[in-house]
A and B are shown apart, each in its own frame.
Chain A
Amino acid sequence: MTIPAVPIPILSFIVFTPLIGALVLLLIPRQRKEAARVFAATVSSFTLLLALWAFLAYDRAAGGYQFVERISWLPQLGIHYYVGVDGVSLPLVLLSALVLFTGVLVSWNIEDRPHELFAFMLLLASGIMGVFVARNLVLLFFFYEIAIFPKYFLIAIWGSTRKEYAAMKLVLYTLVGSIIALVGALALYFVSPVRTFDMDVLRELAARGAFARTVEVFGQAVRFDYLWFLPVFLGFAVTAGLWPFHNWVPDGHSAAPTAGSMFLAGVVMKVGAYSALRVGIELMPGGAVYWLPVVVFLAVVAALYSAAISLVQEDLKYVIAFSSIGHMAFVTIGFAAMNVTGLTGAVLQMFSHGVMAAILFATVGMVYDRAHTRYLAHLGGFARAMPMATLGFILGGLVAMGMPGFSGFVAEFQVFAGIWAARDTAWWYPWVAILAAPSIALSAAYILRALQATFFGELNRERYPHVEDVTALDKVAIVTLAVWFVLIGVFPRIMTDMIQTGVEPIVALLQGAMVASIR
């Protein structure tokens, strides 16, 4: 496989434009708030254009890692600045850029320290996109940790209701998870026959069963990948909101400011799932084959439990927050299928849910800005005053309930098809599909309930004498996001083609491990 040469280091541009933008933003004088906003919008739209360009320029026929850059960083320890994207990571880079751009737009009217607000958002986006492009384990963790602390400030400063509690909870949860995974990665490094953090090399070694060797732990001989797969996978899955480590999700998503919620549900949870795939499943396929059929039950519980809880929430943001746990559970189920259909569905679900969560939280934020309450009982009738936001919420809702013709259906259908097709892996896999399916019906119920209570019905004229329509920038944000639902719903191949090229090598790895374990 040859990697085409790229005239400019596009991935570095994508990752570092927001980072440098954040630093420059802090140098803009305090009083010039409008300048700070315009600058943040410029930086984020530039990043989005670069990401779109990369998405279009990616050679789908060739597949594999493209736009690769590699610079020595700490060569002696096998640490390089090594980035590249494949069919799995590129859609997620695009997703991050979309959420960054729309997040800046919907935060336009925040008056409290916009310089710092946008700087933390840009920093967060830079860390997130760094995780998606990193091809070296240390680099991945480097960006992963960058993407943790800005969340604290976004929530604790600009959030609402129990914001400091939620911010600290979120940060500690994700930090513990990532740190446990980091220890696993270091253990992998020292057990590896080649001392390197290079993920290409490590994957090659994994394919040859290098991490399936036995190690001695407290006098017991255990297979390395059986031992470390769970800590690494679950450590990352904390960020993906997998039950029973999901506890930070509802508080965090609800307390965050609008753009913060969009980031959290839209991309931060994907960072967890993506890292679990890249580090857990890809580098320890033997462990994945051994444990994923068990882990899938956590996802089934997550899907059912979160959908049921969403149905009875009184706070609009909690409805959406719990729903994101359920949708992310399908990603784990797709991983557990361990075949091309299931994994493609899982990755597509990440993109689809990211855009959907962003649009739902954006529109909910627009309602909150006008109503100053999120209690369903106090809301109602906002459709007339803000039709565009209503449309955005409805479209997001249709994706959430898996309506055919939208991206959510394409993704979830493949996840179910994948897990059904994998009944050779474990006899209970069809049961997983059967058990998880009711959550789709439940999601239709809670979305309709929230929609009805918020946008339709009578507007309380005494409480809300003037409800203004959303701004033009808000409309731009809604359209930018909503386009993707329909696009993918109608032409799934613009995503699935690319995702498949990225997923196939992973499935090959897993199949190799399965064969080895049968032998």
Chain B
Amino acid sequence: MALSWWAHLWSVLPEIVLVLAAALMMAVDAWLPEGRKRELGYWAIGGMVATLVVTVIQAAQLAGGIAIPYEAFGSSVRADLAAMLFRIIFLLSGILTVAISMDFRPLRQSGEYYTLLLISILGMGLMGAAVNLVTLYLALETVGIALYLLAGYLRDTPRSAEAGLKYFLFGVFSSTIMLYGLALVYGFTGEIAYARIAQALAGLPAPAVMAALLLILVGFGFKVSAVPFHFWTPDVYEGAPTPVTAFISVASKAAGFAVLIRAMIEAFPTAQGNWVAIMAALAFVTMTVGNLLAIPQRNLKRLLAYSSIAQAGYILIGVAAASPLGVAASIFYLGIYTLTNIAAFAVAVIMTNVTGSEEIRDLAGLSRRSPGLAMAMLAALLSLGGIPPLVGFFAKLFVFAAAIESGLLWLAIAGVLNAMIAFYYYIMVARAMYVDRSPEEEKPVWISRPARFTLWFTVAGVLLLTVLVYPLYLLAQMAAQAF
């Protein structure tokens, strides 16, 4: 059945709006006088909100059964609820990132910054929707190039430049290895579309499939910063401008999981028995290494970097469960993690603006200096730690339940023990804010309005979603069924 031109366009409608928004950003940048460059942030937010509205409508149509999932552009992209949900995650993190970028001093509001951000979100949207190897690779590189530039955006700061270069080198290296894997798959099967690859792989010897799969996993592992492909993470997180770090830690990771889940389920179902063991091992190593290395960190951004590695490990548990519950749990976890991690980074941005430092010990006295900010950080940390009444509790509950359901009891036990290690270092950050004293306790903390919005939005989210956990879970479950 041939699709109408509108059906083709509908599948990438959010990307089209984003391209227009990105073009508009460039024009506005040229048009706005020097003194009003801060307003660029609002333009970027406007563009993303417009895209978000479009995406939400599309998601609602898919969820309500008004639209039916289909593949467009000759099996390049798939329009389904999962793709739309992931786009919503990317856009939300983009909007919140811009809100905390606007008054982040070192960035000095420039149009290029926002344009690059929009383009990377565009690429992520395609990553989530890609159903063939070529689209996958192109989308991956679109995101990669934009993010390398963003990480090294502060050209004058050696650490940022180093972060950009490091991210770039690790990125191209792992993407080359992945490309080799993709080439192997194409060589074996002669197909690039996931669905047909799955059929063709069925008749192939397992070692060949495993070789290709492992090579591809290097690329995905890099994106989600799974151990042992995580070496770039702490340095890039530390060096990149903090809002960019926030963005990489949530949106880029979510995009990595989007392609990982889709590729594993749609292209490699025949090798399932094998990749479950690989994913379980990957999950175990990732969370354990991430958590253990987070303990000695003294720099807040490095600590959050290792914490985000560990979080990737928990999400991988859901993938390893390889069940509808597991996939739903992973998607749910990603959504919650996005909100929570941005809250934590928003506090980091505000503190860097005020103290010029990113050390944990410089959070000392924060609860006296700005009780609200300390509470927001506490809520974010506890939600990351999976402590109720914050919604992070349910995220963890679901992935552990999925592991037990799929017979991976050992992984669930390893997961809960890891959650305990994590609790320790999250509490150590809270300790700095609440117990330690600092000579600067009397100085007030200035929080810009967009940053204040980000804090309220994310903290209210992690609190209120506990009550509304069911609709969110249902959405994740419906998205999981789309695969």
Q: Tell me the chain A residues, 133-187 only, with Cβ under 8 Å from chain B.
A: 138, 142-143, 145-146, 148-149, 152-153, 156-157, 164, 168, 171-172, 175-176, 179-180, 182-183, 186-187
The complex places the Cα of A153 from the Cα of B375 at a distance, in Å, of 12
Contact A168 B389 (CB under 8 A): no
Chain B residues lying within 8 Å of A30, measured Cβ to Cβ, are 371
Minimal Cβ-Cβ distance residue in B for A26: B375
Choice from A73, A138, A145 contacting B387 with Cβ under 8 Å: A145
C-alpha spacing A405/B417, complex, angstroms: 47
Evaluate contact between A164 and B388: CB separation under 8 angstroms: no
Given contacts A74-B473, A186-B400, contact A152 B427 (CB under 8 A): yes
Give which listed residue, A73, A113, A172, A183, contacts B367 with CB less than 8 A.
A113
Interface size of B as a range: 35 or more
A53 at the binding interface (Cβ < 8 Å): no
Residues of A within 8 A of B412 (CB): 183, 186
**A72 contacts chain B at the CB level, 8 A cutoff:** yes
Q: 8 Å CB contacts to B: which residues of A167-215? A: 168, 171-172, 175-176, 179-180, 182-183, 186-187, 189-190
A182-B416 contact, Cβ under 8 Å, with A116-B367, A142-B393, A152-B427: yes
Known contacts: A115-B371, A179-B419. The answer to whether A168 contacts B435 by CB under 8 A is: no
Chain A contact surface mostly? helix
Q: List which B388-436 residues lie within 8 A (CB) of chain A.
A: 388-389, 393-394, 397, 400-401, 404-405, 409, 412-413, 416-417, 419-420, 423-424, 427, 430-431, 434-435
User: CB within 8 Å of B: which of A40-57?
Assistant: none
Is residue A77 contacting chain B, with contact meaning CB distance below 8 A? Answer: yes
Question: A404 at the A/B interface (Cβ < 8 Å)?
Answer: no
Q: Is A75 an interface residue (CB 8 A)?
A: yes
- Min CB distance B16 to A, Å, is 36
Q: Confirm or deny: B368 has a beta carbon within 8 angstroms of a beta carbon on chain A.
A: yes
Give Cα A457 to B420, complex, Å.
48
Q: In the complex, are the beta carbons of A183 and B413 less than 8 A apart?
A: yes
Tell me whether B367 and A168 are in contact (CB under 8 A). Answer: no
Q: Does B6 touch A at the CB level, under 8 Å? A: no
Contact A190 B427 (CB under 8 A): no
A120: nearest chain-B partner, CB-CB: B434
- Pick from A77, A153, A164, A168: contact of B424, CB under 8 Å: A168
Instruction: Give the shortest distance, in Å, between B55 (CB) and chain A (any CB).
Output: 25
| Minimal beta-carbon separation of A442 from chain B (angstroms) | 36
Does B213 sit within 8 A of A, measured CB to CB?
Answer: no
Measured CB to CB, the closest approach of chain B to A154, in angstroms, equals 11
Query: Distance in Å from the Cβ of B286 to the closest Cβ of chain A?
Result: 19
Q: Does the CB pair B420–A172 fall under 8 Å?
A: yes
B193 at the interface (CB under 8 A from A): no
Given known A115-B371, A152-B427, contact A146–B388 (CB-CB < 8 A): yes
* Nearest CB of B to A266, in Å: 22
- Would you call A156 and B388 a contact (CB within 8 A)? no
- One of A145, A156, A186 near B393 (C-beta < 8 A): A145
Chain A residues with CB below 8 A from B427, complex form:
149, 152, 168, 171
Asked if B470 is an interface residue, CB under 8 A from chain A, the answer is: yes
Q: Do A179 and B416 contact each other (CB < 8 Å), given the known contacts A74-B473, A116-B367, A168-B424?
A: yes
CB distance from A338 to the nearest CB of B (A): 30
Residue of B at shortest CB range from A144? B388
Query: Which residues of chain B are within 8 angstroms of A115 by Cβ–Cβ distance?
Result: 371
A182 cross-chain contacts in B, Cβ below 8 A: 416
With both beta carbons as reference points, the residue of chain A lying nearest to B381 in the complex is identified as: A149
Partner of A75, one of B397, B423, B470: B470
B95 beta carbon closer than 8 Å to chain A: no
State the interface size on chain A (CB cutoff 8 A): 37
In the complex, residue of chain A having the shortest beta-carbon distance to the beta carbon of B469: A74
Contact of A74 among B367, B424, B430, B470 (CB under 8 A): B470
Q: Which of B367, B405, B416, B473 makes the CB contact (< 8 A) with A190?
A: B405
C-alpha gap A26/B405 in the complex (Å) = 41
Q: Number of contacts between A and B (CB, 8 Å)?
A: 85
Task: Give B344-398 interface residues, CB cut-off 8 Å to A.
Answer: 367-368, 371-372, 375, 382, 387-389, 393-394, 397
Are B387 and A164 touching (Cβ within 8 A)?
no
In the complex the two chains form, is B387's CB within 8 Å of A148's CB? yes
Q: Which residues of B contact A186 (CB under 8 A)?
A: 400-401, 404, 412
CA distance A340 to B416 in the complex (A): 36
Per the bound structure, the CA–CA distance linking A116 and B371 in Å amounts to: 9
Asked if A138 and B397 sit within 8 Å, CB to CB, the answer is yes
In the complex, the answer to whether B389 meets A146 with C-beta atoms within 8 Å is yes
| Chain A residues within 8 Å of B388, by CB | 142-143, 145-146
Q: Is the CB of A142 within 8 A of B470?
A: no
Chain A residues, Cβ within 8 Å of B372: 26
With the chains together, A168 CA to B420 CA distance in Å? 12
User: Bound complex: CA of A171 vs CA of B389, how far in Å?
Assistant: 17
Complex Cα distance, B422 from A172, in Å, reads 11
Residues of B within 8 A of A156 (CB): 431, 434-435
A183 and B416 contact, Cβ closer than 8 Å, known pairs A74-B469, A113-B368, A190-B405: yes
> Which of B404, B416, B417, B434 has a CB less than 8 Å from the CB of A157?
B434
Q: Are B434 and A72 in contact (CB under 8 A)?
A: no
A516 to B387, CA, bound (A): 39
Complex interface: chain B residues within 8 A of A146 (CB): 387-389
Contact residues in A for B368 (Cβ distance below 8 Å): 113
Chain B residues with Cβ below 8 Å from A175 are 420, 423
Q: Which residue of B lies closest to A195 (CB)?
A: B405
* Contacting residues, chain B, for A138 (C-beta < 8 A): 397
Q: Is the CB of B389 within 8 A of A157?
A: no
Chain B residues, Cβ within 8 Å of A187: 404, 409
Bound CA–CA A142/B466 (angstroms) = 10
- When each residue 278-292 of chain B gets 1 if its CB lies under 8 Å from chain A and 0 otherwise, what string results? 000000000000000
The answer to whether A157 and B409 touch across the interface, beta carbons within 8 angstroms, is no
Q: Which of A97-155 contact B (CB under 8 A)?
A: 113, 115-116, 138, 142-143, 145-146, 148-149, 152-153
CB pair A26–B424 under 8 Å, yes or no, is no
Report B375 CB to chain A, min CB distance, Å: 6
> A143–B466 Cα gap in the complex (Å)?
13
In the complex, what's the smallest C-beta–C-beta distance from B371 to chain A, in angstroms? 7
Q: Shortest CB–CB separation between residue A296 and chain B, in angstroms?
A: 28
Known: A143-B388, A164-B431. A179 touches B397 (CB 8 A): no
Residues of B within 8 A of A189 (CB): 401, 404
Given contact pairs A116-B434, A146-B388, a sample of 8 additional A-B residue pairs in the complex whose CB atoms are under 8 Å apart: A30-B371, A142-B389, A142-B393, A143-B388, A156-B434, A176-B420, A183-B413, A190-B401
Interface CB pairs A-B, < 8 A, 14: A73-B469, A73-B470, A75-B470, A142-B388, A142-B393, A145-B387, A145-B388, A145-B393, A146-B389, A164-B435, A172-B423, A175-B423, A179-B419, A183-B412
List chain A positions with a Cβ less than 8 A from chain B: 19, 26, 30, 72-77, 113, 115-116, 138, 142-143, 145-146, 148-149, 152-153, 156-157, 164, 168, 171-172, 175-176, 179-180, 182-183, 186-187, 189-190
Which 9 pairs from chain A and chain B are nearest by CB? A179-B416, A142-B388, A145-B388, A186-B404, A156-B435, A146-B388, A74-B470, A190-B404, A175-B420
